[in-house]
Amino acid sequence: MNMITLPRLRCPNCGKNMGPVKAPEIPPANKFEDCLRKCSRCLIGATNAKNPAKVKYIYGDQPPQDPPPPAPSQP
């Protein structure tokens, strides 16, 4: 059986590695749940394109609610 490898990507939000992922077949990813490469922390999925230039990022339903960073004090 031919395994297809999706190359490693980095989460666009936190920079965590996503993948690489090997799968016997690559389904089209139209929603977060379909993505084989996901950042579970940010709930961001990368679509299943083998070409990293063609990958799109899909956000899960419940993005984490990060508190806004404190505003830097301006002199």
- Where on the chain is the footprint of Zn ion (CB under 5 A)? 11, 13-14, 16, 39, 41-42
Shortest approach of Zn ion to residue 11 CB, angstroms?
3
Query: Looking at beta carbons only, is 14 or 23 nearer to Zn ion?
Result: 14
Query: Contact, 57 vs 18, CB < 8 A?
Result: no
Query: Looking at beta carbons only, is 4 or 14 nearer to Zn ion?
Result: 14
Shortest approach of Zn ion to residue 18 CB, angstroms?
8
Query: Looking at beta carbons only, is 4 or 20 nearer to Zn ion?
Result: 20
Give me the DSSP letters along 32-55.
GGG-SEEETTTTEEE---SSGGG-
